[in-house]
Amino acid sequence: MHDDRSLVEARLRRVLDERVRPAVYPESVPLDVAVWHAPGEPVPVAEGLAAEPGPIEVGARWGAPWGTSWFRVTGTVPEEWAGRTVEALLDLGFDENMPGFQCEGLVYRPDGTPVKGLNPRNQWVRIGAPVAGGEQVRLHIEAASNPVILDYHPFRPTWLGDKDTAGHEPQYTLTRMDLAVFDETVWQLVLDLEVLGELMAELPADAPRRWEILRAVERALDAIDLQDVNGTAGQARARLTDVLSVPAAPSAHRISAVGHAHIDSAWLWPLRETVRKVARTTANMTALIEDEPDFVFAMSQAQQWAWVKEHRPEVWARVKKAVADGRFVPAGGMWVESDTNMPGSEAMARQFVHGKRFFLDEFGIENDEAWLPDTFGFAAGLPQIIRAAGSTRLLTQKISWSQTNKFPHHTFQWEGIDGTRIFTHFPPVDTYNCSMKGSELAHATRNFKDKGRARHSLAPTGWGDGGGGTTREMVAKAARVRDLEGSPAVVWETPAEFFEKAEAEYADPPVWVGELYLELHRATLTSQARTKQGNRRSEHLLREAELWATTAAVRTGFPYPYEELDRIWKTVLLHQFHDILPGSSIAWVHREARATYQRVAAELDGIIDAAQRALAGQGTRSLVFNSAPHSRHGIPAGGAGEEEPPGEVTISERPEGGRILSNGLLRIEIDARGLVVSVYDLAADRESVAPGTAANLLQLHPDFPNMWDAWDVDAFYRNAVTNLTDLDSLTVGEEGHSVRIMRSFGSSGVTQVLSLPPGERRLLIDTEVDWHETEKFLKLAFPLDLHADRYASETQFGHFHRPTHTNTSWEAAKFEACNHRFIHLDEPGWGVAIVNDSTYGHDVTRTVRTDGDRGTTTTVRVSLLRAPRFPDPETDQGVHRFRHALVPGAGIADAVREGWRINLPERRVAGGHEVAPLVTVDDDAVVITAVKLADDGSGDVVVRFHEAHGGRARATLTAGFEVAGAEVTDLLERPLPDLPEWAGNRVCVRLRPFELVTLRLARV
C-alpha cells in the first residue's frame, strides 16, 4: 500500500479549518449593540445595568486601558429558527491565543442575574435549545478592557501596567455581536476529528492503531459534502463510531482530570481586577457544571472564594449549591497560593489557618492537600507546616520549569527539615492549563517517571488567569478519551479522589529530602525590594501586636483586637501571593502594596503602643519592651524593664587611612575606601575577613536575563562585575561608635553607616541606596576566612544546609538562593553569621587561595536591588534602606538570636513598672514564634514554639498566669492526641530537631 498518511493528515487539517468548524454556526443575524463607558473604576452591577448606553458598531474601537464598558445587546430570534439551538456569539475583540491576558466580560440578564463569562476561547451564550422563534434577546456585558502586557514580543517594557501611566487609547476592536444557529452535530464532528487527529499524531508511524484511525478519518472526510457540511455531518460521524469505540488497553495510563482555572491573585492586572476574573470564571464553571453531569471543578485560594462571597452574591449562591452537590471543590486549604520561600514561619502557618478555616466555616469541608501549581520553589520547612495544619498531601507543577536538572519523580514523599513527610504529586502533563489535547495527554503518559510502579496522574484542566476555566470542548474531548485505545484513560475526579488512588497504588514511593528548589525565577528573591520589606516588617509587627495585646489582655483586661488582627493577617497573607511578594507583578500592584503596608504598619503600631502603655502603667521610668524570643540587656523575652548600662566603644584613626572601632569584644578596621578589611574576634583571637579581601563590598553586575526580566537572573550575570570602591566621604558618626560612608555610582548614590554597638558582638551595617539604575544587580559581599563545605540558611521553623561547592549540576544550579533572617557558616568551634532585616536572595561561593596560607575564602553576597524593566519599567527606582549585621564567633544559637534581634528592635515606653513575660521557656533552643489569644474568643492563650538549633531539646514552659488546662493542638487550635506534661503553670516539653508545637493554655 502506498504511504498516503501525510496527504490524509493535511486534508484533515484543511477541511476542519475551512469547512467543518465554520459550519458549527451555519446561520446568523446581527444583534443591536450599545455601550456605556464607566468613567473611572468599575461600578456596581446595578449602576452598570441602569446606565444609558450610546450606539456602537461592530468594527469600532473600544476600551481605554483598565477601563470598564457596559455593552447592551438586543435582538429577536428569527421565526424560521424555531426548533433549533440558538446562541449569541459575543466577540469583544478576542485573540484566541491569549486566554486570560486581554479583555474579558461577564454577561448578565436585565435583572442582574449573571449568566457566564466571555473569554477568548468561550464567546458563546446559549439562548435556547430549542427556541420557539421570535424570542426577544437582551443581554448586558460588563467588559474589562485589560491591556495586553505580555504580548507576542514578550518582556518589552510597557507603561500599560499602571492606570496612571497607561493612557486612554482604545485597546480592542468590537468583532462580532450575532445571534447564530448552533449545529450540535457539526460541533460533535469537530471534536471527533480533533480527538482522532491529535491521537493519531502521537502514535508511532508504523503502529496499526494509527493507520486504523487514518482510514476511519479518511472515510469520514469522504462522507462530508463540502457544500453541505451541516447536511452530511451525521454521516461522517457514523463512519467514526467504530474507531472511537475501541477500549483502552488495560495497561493504559490513568489520568484524573480536575476542572481548573489557575487565577493569579494579582500579576499583569491589579487586585481589583482579580475579583472580577474570579467572578467570571466561577459563573462559567457553575454553568458548565449544570450542563455536564460528569464534570467537577476545583478552586483554591480561600481569598478568591471570599471575594465572590463579598462582591458577587448572585454567583456565590450558585457556587454554594455546586459545592453542596460535590461538583465545585475547595482545594488547597490556603488563603492564597503564596510564595513559600520568603514568608516567615508564622505567616506560612497562618496561610493554612485562615484558608482551612474559611472552607470549614463556609462548607464544613477540610482540604487534605496543599495546592500550589505555580509557586516558584518550596522551602524545606513546608512539609511540617502542611502536616501541622491537618493536611498530608501537596500538588505542584512548577518544578517542571527547572532549566538545568530534570526532577526524578512525579509521585513521591517529600521530607522536610524535621523529618515530616508529605505525599507529593507533580502532574506529568507539565501544565496547570491542560486543554485535553492529544499531545498533552500523550506527553503525560510518556513523561510519567513512576511507570511500572504507579499508573495514576492528575491533569488540572482549563484556561486560567481569567481565561474562563474549563470549556465544554475540553469536557467533550475528555468523554471521548475516557476509554479509548491509544490514549490514556481520562476521568473527571476531585483532587481527593486522585490522591486516594495514587496513595493506594504506591505504598512505598521514593523520598526527596530538603527544599524543592526551582532552577528558574531566582531573581524573585530580590525584585521589588519595598514589597519584600513591607512583608517582613508586617510579619514582625503582627508578632508584636499579638504578643503585647495578649499580655495586656491577661494582665489588665485590655480588649484583644480579634477582628483587627484577623483582617490584617488576611491582608498580609494576600500580599504573599506568588506574584506579589516575589516582585513579578505590574507597577500598579506594587504601588498599591506599598500603600497597604504603610497602613498595616500604622494600625499595628497603634495596637502595640496601646497594649504596651496599658502594661507599663503611669510613670516616668524609661521601660524597654523586648519582643524577641531571647533576653537582651537584662530584659527577658516578652517582658519590659530598664536596660543594663552598655559598655564602651572606642574609635581611632587607622594609620593606613580609615578608622578602627573596638568595644572589647570586636576590633573593626575600615580602610580609606570605606571597606571593612578586618573584623577581629578578640576573645577567639580570630580574623573573620579573608586575607587580601574586603568586606562590606558593594558589587554591581549587568542584569539582562534571556527571559522573564523581573523573575530571572541568569548565571552569566557573574561574568562582569564592578566593585564600588570609589569614595565620596568617610566621617565619624555623632554618637562616636559609627563610621558614615558615602559613594556615587552611575546615576545612583549610597550611604552606609557602620556601627559597633557597645557590649555586642556584631558589626551593624545600615545601607541607604538612592537607586536609579536599570538592568543592574547590586550585591553586598563578605569574603570570610572560613573553610566550610556547607552553610545554614534560615527557613520556616528552623534552618537547613546548602553546599558551598558545585560538585554536581544540582548544586551549581543553586547560584541564587533564599534565606530568612540569617545565614551561618562555621568550622568546628567558630563561625560567622550574617543577619538581615529585609533581604532574602544571596549567593555563597568558595575559593582556595593559591598564595600565602592556601586557605579557603568563603564569600557570602547579599542581594540588595535589581532594576528589571518588565513588567514594571521603573522597578525599585528611588530610596531604599537595609540593615545587616556581621556576627563573628557565632554558633547557630547566636545566628538564631541575632536574626530575631535585628528584626525586632526594642521599643521604649514611659511607665511606672516593669512587665514580666506572659510565657517563658528555659532553653534558648526552644523559640516561641507566637503568643496570642485563641481564635475562638475563649480567652485561652495559644503559644507556638519550635526547636531552632537542629538538636533535641527538653524544656519547661512557664505561664505567668494560672493555668486550668493545657493541650497540644494543630495550627487551627484543635486538640491533638498528644498529652502535654503539665502541673500548675508549668509544661514540660521534649522536642526533636526543628519540631513545631502549638500549645493551648486554658486560664482559670
- Respond yes or no: is residue 374 known to be catalytic: yes
Give the H/E segment covering residue 197.
helix 184-202
The type of residue at 8 is V
Using CA atoms, how far apart are residues 46 and 440, in angstroms rounded to an integer? Answer: 42
| CA angle in degrees (0–180, nearest 5) for 109-113-116 | 80
Given the C-alpha cell 478592557, which residue does it identify?
145
Sheet (strand 176-181) strand order: 28-30, 176-181, 86-91, 124-128
The 3-class SS string of 512-569 reads: EECCECCCCCHHHHCCCHHHHHHHHHHHHHHHHHHHHHHHHHHHHCCCCCHHHHHHHH
For cell 556576627, what's the residue? 887
DSSP 246: P
DSSP for 446-511? HH-TTBTTB-EEEEEESB-TTS-BS-HHHHHHHHHTTT-TTS-EEEE--HHHHHHHHHHH-SS--E
User: Are residues 573 and 335 in contact, defined by beta-carbon separation less than 8 angstroms?
Assistant: yes
Q: Is 384 within 8 Å of 521 (Cβ atoms)?
A: no
Q: How far apart are CA 623 and CA 606, in angstroms?
A: 18
Q: Which secondary-structure segment (H or E) carries 304? A: helix 302-311
CA–CA dist 398, 410 (Å, integer): 12
DSSP codes, 624-683: EE--SSS-BTTBPTT-EEPPPPP---EEEE-TTSSEEEE-SSEEEEE-TTS-EEEEEETT
- Which sign does the torsion angle of CA 917, 921, 923, 929 carry? negative
Which residues lie closer than 8 Å to 245 by C-beta, 6 or more apart? none
First vs last Cα of the chain: how many Å apart?
91
Contact by Cβ (8 Å): 418, 384: yes
**C-beta of residue 462 within 8 angstroms of C-beta of residue 445:** no
Compute CA distances 755 → 660, 666, 834, whole Å: 11, 11, 15
CA pair distance 779, 4, nearest whole angstrom: 61
Q: From CA 347, how far away is CA 573, in angstroms rounded?
A: 7
CB 906 within 8 A of CB 624: yes
The HSE-up count of residue 363 (CA atoms within 13 Å, CB side) is 27
For 141, the enclosing helix (H) or strand (E) is: strand 136-145
The DSSP H or E segment spanning 862 is: strand 856-866
Read off the C-alpha cell for 760: 555586642
DSSP category for residue 577 = B
> In Å, how far from its chain's centre is CA 543?
22
**Other C-beta atoms lying within 10 Å of the C-beta of residue 404:** 12
**Beta strands at 822-827 and 963-969: parallel, antiparallel or unpaired:** unpaired
Q: Under a CB-based contact definition with an 8 Å cutoff, are residues 601 and 609 in contact? A: no
Distance of CA 184 to the CA centre of its chain: 41
Kind of pairing between the strands at 763-771 and 878-888: antiparallel
CA 299 – CA 358 distance, rounded (Å): 13
Q: Which one is catalytic: 151, 374, 609, 766?
A: 374
Catalytic positions are 374
